[in-house]
Amino acid sequence: MINKTSKKFLTLILILFFSFLLISCDSEKGEYRVTLSRNINGGTVSGNGTYKCDKSVTIKATPSTGYEFDGWYEKNKLVSEKNNYTFKMPAKDLLYLAKFKAKTDTPYKVEHYLENVDNTKYTLYET
């Protein structure tokens, strides 16, 4: 006869077993999609594609001049702070957002030009 504690333990074991089956790779489907986007036009991303479950995947974020990479995010949760992020493909499609932000220490110079009367050249007016 099974007592209450044994019954609870057996139920827990069955739940864990079936949860593992749901999380593990689906041999019929086998491939899942990685979709990458970015929050602003502050750089480029690469690694979009379809990958086999359990295979190693690397996604890359390259900031443009004047920007820095601020992390890979999934549903507003930080996944990695590394530009090149490598992970094992799970049994689900993924959508990652690369966040870039403008650098605050980028030097710049403002120059004002005047157009010449004959419309052929511009002359530096002030800096």
Residue 94 lies inside a defined structural domain of this protein: yes
List, in sequence order, every residue forming a beta bridge with 114; answer none if it has no partner: 123
Report the CATH number that the domain containing residue 85 is assigned in CATH: 2.60.40.4270
Residue 51 lies inside a defined structural domain of this protein: yes
Residue 10 lies inside a defined structural domain of this protein: no
SS3 of 71, please? strand
How many structural domains is the chain composed of? 1
Tell me the two tokens of residue 117: 């009367």
Q: Is the pLDDT of residue 37 over 90?
A: yes
Residue 56 lies inside a defined structural domain of this protein: yes
Helix (H) or strand (E) holding 78: strand 77-80
Q: Which amino acid is at 7?
A: K
pTM for the model stands at 0.66
Range of the domain at 93: 28-126
pLDDT digits (tens, 9 = 90+) for 90-116: 999 999 999 999 998 877 788 888 888
Residue 7 lies inside a defined structural domain of this protein: no
**Residue 73 DSSP symbol:** E
* pLDDT of amino acid 115: 85
pLDDT digits (tens, 9 = 90+) for 60-85: 999 999 999 999 999 999 999 999 99
